[in-house]
Structure 1
Amino acid sequence: MRYVGKAVESAFFPKLMGTYEKELHGIWYRQIAAASSRWVVNIGAAEGYYAVGLLFSKATTTIICFEESAVGQSLIRALAAKNGITAGLEVRGRCDSAALRACLAQSGVPAFVLCDIEGGELDVLTIEQVPQLARCEMLVEVHESVLPGIGTTLVDRFGATHQASKHLPQLRVESDLPNHSSYWRILPTGYALGLMDELRSPIDYWLHFVPRGGK
């Protein structure tokens, strides 16, 4: 996949190297293998790494992006154009619970919800305001560094409807360097490891929620 020249509030080089959020690769491999027709709703889409990438890999046919930054919205469209994505992508602005509820009602079937909004997940992801979430698979970046205890709150909130698994950030090591390009492997090891560093807070992590009883 071809890429744009910068990232929005996230690490740039790991996306070029294919190591970005490698802790989640297993989840995305399953999504790609399923060639799912369900919608993916990407809340906090930044410049479109996941939105365009999932369409490019044919892991889904429809992506709804919520991104409040005008720069991010422009980059999503530019990234889609660079990779020949002309259908299946819709870019919207800021997401709140009402916007998410309307989006999921529009989809008609349970969607896959990807959420990374720096602590805003506590307000947006609520079954009381968005009842469709009870049947949606969700992958949420949890920002304990912003709101301590938010992960426990989310697990408790969805405990009756979802099984949750926790994915912790991992240090990058030399074996993580991509095999698809010799360019990265000719760099000094320390420099390459530095490029893979996503500069994450060590107390932030991800929660993967799967509806009980299947999707």
Structure 2
Amino acid sequence: MYSFLKHKNKKDNLNIAKPKTFRKYLLRTLVFGKYNIFFWFIIKIFYNFLSKLILKKFLQSLYNDCKVIAGPFKGIRYVEPISAGSSLIPKLLGTYEAEIIPTINSLKKNKYYKIINIGAAEGYYAIGFSLIFPDTNIVAYEINKETKELLDKMIKFNKKESQITTSENLCYEDFNKISSELRLLIFSDCEGYEHELFNNDIIKKFINSDLILEMHTNNFDKTTLEKNFEKSHYIERINSDKHMINISQYSDLIINLKDYINIYAENRSEYHYFIILRSKNHN
């Protein structure tokens, strides 16, 4: 209970409630009185400390589980907390290269004879696509010997040996053997080799196929590769600043939004983008 004393104030003429107990008086003085700046400064320090503590605990839990917790590839299990050539945390969060997630979701309804992953790294996309297309065989190319060993471990750990085959060879010779009648899904991240690989002869092999290519350039000019695909495919360019993360997927995580945004951030080059190539024969 409070006893009310009316105080005249020339500035605001407010009615102020005077607490009866010292504890209430002290609390009111700290929160609203002349020491309130110091009080809220202490609260801010405590809040930041608590946020970092929660973040540390969350990341530790993420590493311990080593499992993708959201996104189209939810459920991928990592044999160890290692990601080849890219950040692990965005992959475990399911936000890795999030700008192409809508594209991946839009492909789920399609039927493909085979899926080919060029530059498969530890298998995030190869294994991820195996979850979306459980009845489709997948070939994963990875030329780095150590990375391919990790890729094979990941495939075995996720029990996908019967669906995913791997190769340490360059894919060019295999592509020459592909029938142009087949409808394939190609996902490529080959660090610039795409400009050499997808020449006019190879493009003819994929007139019925859909492709997602990560582009490695030093500008945003239209590449020869894109020009060569124009006759047979609808082309969409997706820049890295186009994505939106669906925060609702993470509503049950005890972590604030600022910390979340910091940990899903990825190191991208200035000219990083994808091109989505959809066959005009099927779209």
TM-score (norm 2): 0.65
Q: Where does residue 119 of structure 1 map in the other structure?
A: 192
What is the aligned-residue RMSD (CA, Å)?
2.5
Over residues 44-102 of structure 1, what are the superposed CA-to-partner deviations in whole Å (9 max), with x where a residue is unaligned?
Answer: 11110010111123355111111111122122222222222131211011425323223
1:162 aligns with 2:162: no
The one-letter amino acid paired with 2:188 is: C
After TM superposition, the structure 1 = structure 2 runs for residues 75-94 of structure 1, keeping only pairs within 5 Å, are 75-94=150-169
Q: Hey, what's the Cα distance between the residues in 2 that align with 1:60 and 1:142?
A: 29
* CA distance 1:96–1:150, change in 2 (3 Å): farther
Counterpart of 1:190 in structure 2: which amino acid?
A: K
Question: Which residue of the other structure, out of 57, 73, 95, is the alignment partner of 2:170?
Answer: 95
The CA deviation at 1:135 is 2.5
The one of 217, 241, 249 equivalent to 1:179 is 249
Q: CA deviation at 1:178?
A: 6.2
1:201 deviates by 1.2
How much has 1:176 moved relative to structure 2? 4.0
2:142–2:166 CA contact under 8 A, matched in 1: yes
Q: CA deviation at 1:134?
A: 2.5
Q: Which residue is equivalent to 2:57?
A: none
List alignment gaps of at least 5 residues for structure 1: none
Q: Which runs of 5+ in 2 are unaligned?
A: 1-74
CA deviation string 1:144-176 (max 9, x = no partner): 24xx46752221111111110011102777x64
- 2:137 aligned partner: 62
Supply the distance in 2 between the matched residues of 1:94 and 1:178 (Cα, whole angstroms).
41
Structure 1 vs Structure 2: percent identity of aligned residues? 22
SS of the residue 1:113 aligns to:
strand
Q: Does residue 201 of the first structure (1) align with residue 269 of the second (2)?
A: yes
Match for residue 32 of structure 2?
none
Give the aligned partner of residue 223 of structure 2: 152
Contact residue 113 and residue 138 of structure 1 kept, 8 A: yes
Q: Report the 3-state secondary structure (helix = DSSP H, G, I; strand = E; otherwise coil) of the residue aligned with 1:160.
A: coil
Q: Are the aligned partners of 1:44 and 1:67 in contact in 2 as well (CA < 8 Å)?
A: yes
Between the two proteins, the alignment pairs up a number of residues equal to: 207
- Asked if residue 21 in structure 1 is aligned to residue 91 in structure 2, the reply is no
Q: Pick which of 163-172 and 20-29 moved more.
A: 163-172
* 3-state SS of 2:136 partner: coil
CA distance in 2, matches of 1:126, 1:22: 28
Q: Secondary structure at the match of 2:200?
A: coil
Determine helix, strand or coil for the equivalent of 1:114. Answer: strand
Which of the pair has more CA radius of gyration?
2
- Could you tell me how far apart the structure 2 residues matched to 1:152 and 1:50 are? 25
Please, which moves more after superposition, 60-69 or 93-102?
Answer: 93-102
Q: Residues of 2 paired with 1:45 and 1:150: CA distance?
A: 27
Residues 22-61 of structure 1 aligned to structure 2 (within 5 Å): 22-34=98-110, 36-58=111-133, 61=136
Describe the shift of the 1:201–1:98 C-alpha distance in structure 2 as closer, same or farther (beyond 3 A). Answer: same
Compared CA separation, residues 129 and 25, structure 1 to 2 (3 A): closer
- SS of aligned partner of 1:20: coil
SS at match of 2:117: strand
Indicate the larger mover: 125-134 or 14-23. Answer: 125-134
